[in-house]
A and B are shown apart, each in its own frame.
Chain A
Amino acid sequence: MEEIVRAEGLRKTFTLSKKQQRIERTGETRRIAVDGLSFSAYRGEIYGLLGPNGAGKTTTLRMLATLIRPDSGDAVLMGHSIVKEPDRVRDIIGFMTSELKLEGFFTPDYLFDFFGMMHGMDKDKLAARKRDLFARFGIDKYAEVPVKSLSTGMLQKVSLVISIVHDPEIIIFDEPTNGLDVLTAKVVTDFLVELKGMGKSILLSTHIFSLVEKLCDRVGVIIDGKLVQEGTLVEVSKGDLETSFFELYHRIKGEIV
């Protein structure tokens, strides 16, 4: 299998403000978000990072998307280092997270073209891709409606197609179904499967066991910023992913809540 993503010793710490220290009643000034994370993802697979809130999943994906730099360690995506070549990495990934928003004033049609140009796409290819994706997600009827007037579900679909406007080889999704109604969630998960079928590599983070069981080929379990287990879905779940996860969590943390 062709290795598409290789993360080696990714580490990220954040400074805790006085206010955060007071709230959390701690004297520590730095918090380790990701602690020496290493994993690999391969072409045509869906790799899931599973862990509770605050485990470091989003921070890991943000580092891979080059929005933030690791304190140490590196990740190579299709031969490009996130530390040394962040601009090149941004052209081969599609990153979607609730943190990234679309300007409500513009229409899906305008934004699709704008972000296509931001990725250096030529007009003909952009027009063809817009036709395909807008038809595939039923956006064509709302192409000229300002984004602020779209329903949450339609907005999510627009965000999805814009994140992959440049047909990236690697798609990074942070909590892909969070806040979506069941219909839109199904559209998104079906599309991820379709993308996988097209040979794309998908990295996603989630805390939803059913989503991992439905989509992921391989799973990395993150607790307290460390990768504590990695393997195929069968290897990690051992028949029941939820039970296996809580056993692992109890072994490491010595508690459930």
Chain B
Amino acid sequence: MKLLALIKKEFHRFFHDPRLIVTMLLPGIVIFLLYSALGEIIYTEESRDLKVYLSGESNVVAMIEGMIEQNGDKVEWLPLESEETARAAILDGEATAILTFTENFDSFGENASVGIVYDNGSTDGSYFYSLVSSVLIGVGMRFPIRVQTVREDTEVARNFMQSALPFIVICFIFAAGMSVTLESVAGEKERGTLATILVTSAKRRDIALGKIVPLSCISMLGATSSFLGIALSIPKLMGMSFGVFGGYSGWSYLLLFAAILSVVPLIVSVISTVSTLSRSVKEASAYTSGLMILVMVISLVSSFVPSMGNWVFLIPVLNAVVAMQGVLAGGLLVWQTLAAVGINLVCTAGLVFLMTKLLSSERIMFGK
């Protein structure tokens, strides 16, 4: 009952303060509007007329064509006679891309693979590549994709953007967690209102959980808002339809959600513990900013190092980033994601225990 009252108090504090709600949800709305507007500016053409050299046969071609038409664009398939000529046509802007399927591709045989050559310097080329990628993710990605660009490679930047999405999610979770937790824990300690609760017979563990549980929910809300803002605006920014999200199965979404869900209480627990240790919001803010940089660096590591082995799933936060990247790349990393969730939850429990100890420490709570 006491724990419930503590949790309700935090929710009451948040949901009855319009300023807090606005500051939490605003980033997502702003991101969505900004990116969507940017997408509208970039892709002002009424419709695209794509010309794609095609080699080999596959049902995927019909799917790609269907998606292009769904977006209000047209595609003309040209027979590939000479790759050299086709590449020159792409560079001259007379064609969009080359798409090649190996023989008997649809049976997903041993040597099945897809090749894409496109102009990474044109919006049409990038649009076609993104669209093909999303369709291929949808069919399972049980084959290699050979990607080539005809200009100096901006591919690194594109791949970075794709692999950076989990990193962005972690940053949003941290930012959302900071915005509510610093005020709620360090702020209450600084103002002396936490001490008033400590005089009651509520257990220190309940007080710690009474902060971490509701603040995690609120942070999740803020992070979701920011994530939706970016996720819903990215198709527009890249000139695609929302159908790109249909490329993932329900399981993929479930694994993504589980990975995110395990990181939120962990990050909130870290910020809560640091806030409990700090004397003021200012001090806590300085410490957590340092922590945020650390988490950002850890999360970025996975973007630059492509295969780090399964040991990364033992490292809190990083494990969720890698799991999300794996799932977004079309894999179903069930055991790895579950291991990440388990480890993150164990770490959260450890931090709840530590915060309970800190709340019981007079040097921490009442030391000058």
Known A90-B199, A118-B200; judge A68-B188 contact (CB<8 A).
no
Q: Describe A's contact surface by its main secondary structure.
A: loop
A103 and B202 CA atoms in complex are apart in Å by 17
A101 and B195 CA atoms in complex are apart in Å by 8
Does residue B362 face the partner (Cβ distance < 8 Å to A)? yes
Residues of A with C-beta under 8 A to B202: 118
Residues of B with C-beta under 8 A to A65: 199
**Interface stretch of the complex, out of B9-17, B80-88, B313-321:** B9-17
Residues of B with C-beta under 8 A to A191: none
A67 and B13 CA atoms in complex are apart in Å by 25
Known A117-B2, A118-B202, A120-B201; judge A67-B196 contact (CB<8 A).
no
Residues of B with C-beta under 8 A to A106: 9, 12-13
Q: Give the A-B contact count at a CB cut-off of 8 A.
A: 64
Residue from the list A67, A87, A117, A118 in contact with B195, Cβ < 8 A: A67
Q: Which of A57-107 contact B (CB under 8 A)?
A: 62, 65-69, 87-88, 90-91, 95, 99-103, 105-106
CB distance from A104 to the nearest CB of B (A): 8
Interface residues on B, range: 20 to 34
Does residue A245 face the partner (Cβ distance < 8 Å to B)? no
Does residue B192 face the partner (Cβ distance < 8 Å to A)? yes
Does residue A119 face the partner (Cβ distance < 8 Å to B)? yes
* CB-based contact A118/B12 at 8 Å: no
A110 and B191 CA atoms in complex are apart in Å by 18
Between A62, A91, A105, the greatest number of chain B beta carbons within 10 A of the residue's beta carbon is seen for A105
CB distance from B251 to the nearest CB of A (A): 42
Closest partner residue, chain B, to A63 (CB atom): B362
Known A67-B366, A114-B5, A118-B5; judge A95-B199 contact (CB<8 A).
yes
A110 and B200 CA atoms in complex are apart in Å by 16
Does residue B193 face the partner (Cβ distance < 8 Å to A)? yes
CB distance from A167 to the nearest CB of B (A): 14
* CB-based contact A105/B13 at 8 Å: yes
Known A88-B201, A90-B201, A114-B5; judge A68-B193 contact (CB<8 A).
no
A102 and B195 CA atoms in complex are apart in Å by 10
A12 and B26 CA atoms in complex are apart in Å by 50
* CB-based contact A67/B197 at 8 Å: no
* CB-based contact B196/A102 at 8 Å: yes
Interchain residue pairs A-B with the least CB separation, the first 8: A118-B200, A101-B192, A117-B5, A90-B201, A68-B362, A100-B196, A91-B201, A103-B193
Please name 14 pairs of A and B residues whose Cβ atoms are closer than 8 Å in the assembled complex, sorted by A.
A65-B199, A67-B198, A67-B362, A87-B203, A91-B201, A101-B196, A102-B196, A110-B12, A114-B5, A115-B200, A118-B197, A120-B1, A120-B2, A120-B201
